[in-house]
Structure 1
Amino acid sequence: MTKRNAFYAQSGGVTAVINATACGLIETARHRAGQIDTVFAGHNGILGALHEELIDTSQESARTIAALRHTPAGAFGSARYKLKGLQENRAEYERLFKVFDAHNIGYFFYNGGGDSQDTTHKVAQLGEQLGYPITCIGIPKTVDNDLPGTDSCPGFGSVAKYIAVSTREAGLDVASMAKTSTKVFILETMGRHAGWIAAAAGLAQELPGEPPHLILLPEIPFDRERFLSRVEQTVQELGYCVVVASEGTRNADGAFLADQGSGKDAFGHTQLGGVAPVIARLINDTLGYKYHYAIADYLQRAARHIASRTDVEQAYAVGQAAVEFALAGKNAIMLTITRLSDDPYRWQVGEARLAEVANVERKLPAEYISEDGLHITAQCRRYLSPLIAGEDYPPYENGLPSYARLRRCMVDKKLPRFEGN
């Protein structure tokens, strides 16, 4: 039987460890060269398949591929591009299969969040309808930690570590200056619908009175009066107040505090204008406190220099498992992390059917949120703590992290130009 090639693509917002997954997948495929020929990576995610822009990873040295393990962002380019339903836009899916056929691709590995798992599911469905032999494996990736069926999502542990560390360090800064300067500091985190990242800031508080003092979560409607009262009380008692706010903080009517009417992104998500300045102005206008705020934004998901070792190991492991599960005959599944125990923390790679996880969003459970809705519980702390454990520093050169630089050699095109997006 002729060996077949594999297609791998990175999708959606990138993370500090998505390239570790690519590393695990490509290295494992090379070790199984007798069963998989070449791994082609999509240039800019799924768009690379639509436009037949395929990167030949076999042209990268073993050293370069190994360096992906400690390199942040998406080495092959990612994209926020959502393929519509099979009936709505069948032409795009059929184009994918024309590209697959032209390049003898029999394995489809898609590395992303909920929308990406939906795409992988649809590709698997159409492959079955067309009678085209394609093995489809969804590989979890999202800093938001909101995929169902998996205990944690690669990418989350590192951003959680960054936020917890930043909260502790900024808290020390504010406390040292509060007597004559800033009284309130607000750190805005990612997390549009689920508060996992903001909740991770709670790990910085080990003793009563330590920051963060208040955590605003999308799962809990924002109560203006209660919030202001707690800020004032905290400043009076401690001299300062540190607030961590998820970008998805909402009013009781469901409207985002940060919705500035800026439209929607390619996935149909509301463009948020920044909740931290909104909260800062509210505090200043009402209580008159001097404030500072920070919007972690891309810094939190790009911070490979402070990545969680647990996260790196899990990201690499799902890349390995994608190849191993595919060669074992698995299809139309998403890989998962299964927690075996908290202390000591033990885990293994499992699987979930794509039909059960596509477009399903996992929120922060009620038992992880304190009774007043403004902090995390001990149960949440037990869940989060192992995910930020351990350090996995990249190599440094001239005082800066040394990251992989890929050649990105493109495969020759065989098909007419695609006229879509």
Structure 2
Amino acid sequence: MKKKNLIYGQSGGVTSVINASAYGAIVAALEEAEIENVYAGINGINGVLEEKLIDLTKETKDEIEKIPYTPGAIFGSCRKKLKTEEDFRRLFEVFEAHNIGYFLYNGGNDSMETVHRIALKAREYGYPLKAIGIPKTVDNDLMHTDHCPGYGSAAKYTAISILEATKDLIAMHGDSTQVFIMESMGRYAGWLAASAALAGLNGGTAPQIILLPEVPFDEEKFLSKVEETIVRDGYCSVVVAEALKDSSGNYISTEAYKDAFGNVQLGKIGIYIQKIVRQKLGRKVHTALPDYLQRSSRHIASLTDWREAIEVGAAAVKYAVKDGLSDVMVSIVRDNDYPYLKHYSPVELNGVASAVKYLPEEFIAENGFGVTEKFIEYARPLINGEAPVIYLRGIPVYAKLKRVFVEKKLKG
């Protein structure tokens, strides 16, 4: 029987370890005897539709070995939604033209929907395709997995950043800034904002207030809490999730933009909070928006997160080739907290696609302004260790792929 080729693609917002998953999948695929060629789509599904495919068999081993040390999405990402039957027909024409039997897509909620829909279309068209989802999101909101690759590293960055900024605040609050606000990513859920509490490990100084989207924002209670904290401590350190909502469930701060999947562009909630603190309490306040820094800071990535990212990539190849599975995502199953133990298991994409996992009530502090010890126990193992970084002259060295494109076989 003729061997089939494999396509790997990256989708959605990047993480500091998404390329570690790429590396895990690529190396496993290159070593798999049943796979003929290994390709990567440029800018995710867009590259597949446009036949912009990189032949990874043409890359040197040295550069492939640098892929897991590289931030961003090395093959380019996208937020493309397959909307029409024409999109799917074109996609499968590309698959057929290039003898594709395996499709691995690395992304979050919307990306898992894309994989699920492709798997369903493969069945409808009678096309022999194994489609596997590789989880990735700093938001940590994918269903049916204990956590998501990318979250541990972003959580580590968040905790360290607010710890250091709070140290600055403590030093300056006497006659300068009294309130510091850091805005956190998280389109729907408060997992990343909650990770700021990890700054308190080792006796460190954690933010006194964490505003979570799972807790409706009450301006009066918040301002009272800020004032009470300043009176007690002299300063107040705040982390606010970008998806903060009011009592009616509406986002408090959005921009006039939606992506291809209809997701509202969030942002500037930190500025909103800053304004009400300044106007109604008369306190001097500074705000920071980590934004891309929060999700792509490879230099302090978690070793646990990095290793797991590699492993879920490799597991996806196994599920597709050895186990003959399709329409599933690689799930991380926790077996024990301390020592931290886990294993991987396939879960049906039908239960993952376009769903959201929110912070459970048991992880949220009773007063609504922080998290419980149960959350700390959950999150602490995920930030353990420091992923290795290759430095030269004090600056990290990243992969530089040749990007040899596969010859196009279709028109358009």
Q: Per the shorter chain, which TM-score range? A: over 0.9
Contact 1:192 1:218 in 2 (8 A): no
User: Could you report, residue by residue, the CA deviation over 1:221-271 in whole angstroms, capped at 9, with x for unpaired residues?
Assistant: 0000000000001111111000000000111122222124x1212221112
C-alpha separation in 1, matches of 2:197 and 2:206: 8
- Of 329, 333, 336 in structure 2, the residue corresponding to residue 338 of structure 1 is 333
- Of 254, 261, 281 in structure 2, the residue corresponding to residue 267 of structure 1 is 261
Contact 1:209 1:238 in 2 (8 A): no
C-alpha separation in 1, matches of 2:272 and 2:46: 36
- Of 373, 377, 386 in structure 2, the residue corresponding to residue 382 of structure 1 is 377
User: Could you report, residue by residue, the CA deviation over 1:291-319 in whole angstroms, capped at 9, with x for unpaired residues?
Assistant: 11100100011100000011001100011
Match of 2:9, SS? strand
Q: What is the percentage of aligned positions where both structures have the same residue?
A: 49
Correspondence 1:217 to 2:216: no
Correspondence 1:202 to 2:197: yes
Question: 1:12 corresponds to which residue?
Answer: 12
Q: Structure 1 counterpart of 2:5, which letter?
A: N
TM-aligned CA deviation for residue 272 of structure 1: 2.3
TM-aligned CA deviation for residue 207 of structure 1: 8.1
Q: CA RMSD in A?
A: 1.2
C-alpha separation in 1, matches of 2:385 and 2:202: 22
Contact 2:163 2:204 in 1 (8 A): no
C-alpha separation in 1, matches of 2:77 and 2:137: 13
Q: Structure 2 counterpart of 1:7, which letter?
A: I
User: Where in structure 1 do 4 or more consecutive aligned residues deviate above 6 Å?
Assistant: none
Match of 2:409, SS? coil
Query: CA distance change for structure 1 residues 372 and 59 in 2, over 3 Å: closer, same or farther?
Result: same
Question: 2:47 corresponds to which residue?
Answer: 48
TM-aligned CA deviation for residue 81 of structure 1: 1.1
C-alpha separation in 2, matches of 1:392 and 1:373: 33
User: Could you report, residue by residue, the CA deviation over 1:149-205 in whole angstroms, capped at 9, with x for unpaired residues?
Assistant: 100100111000000000111010100111011100000010121000000001112
Query: CA distance change for structure 1 residues 76 and 364 in 2, over 3 Å: closer, same or farther?
Result: same
Question: 1:31 corresponds to which residue?
Answer: 31
- Of 158, 178, 185 in structure 2, the residue corresponding to residue 183 of structure 1 is 178
TM-score between the two structures when normalised by the length of structure 1 = 0.96
Question: 1:78 corresponds to which residue?
Answer: 77
C-alpha separation in 2, matches of 1:207 and 1:78: 37
Match of 1:205, SS? helix
TM-aligned CA deviation for residue 37 of structure 1: 1.2
Q: Structure 2 counterpart of 1:405, which letter?
A: K
Question: 1:366 corresponds to which residue?
Answer: 361
TM-score between the two structures when normalised by the length of structure 2 = 0.98
Contact 1:228 1:283 in 2 (8 A): yes
Match of 2:377, SS? helix
Q: Structure 1 counterpart of 2:214, which letter?
A: E
Query: CA distance change for structure 1 residues 42 and 299 in 2, over 3 Å: closer, same or farther?
Result: same
Query: CA distance change for structure 1 residues 101 and 207 in 2, over 3 Å: closer, same or farther?
Result: closer
C-alpha separation in 2, matches of 1:208 and 1:99: 56
Contact 2:167 2:205 in 1 (8 A): no
- Of 127, 137, 144 in structure 1, the residue corresponding to residue 139 of structure 2 is 144
TM-aligned CA deviation for residue 145 of structure 1: 0.4
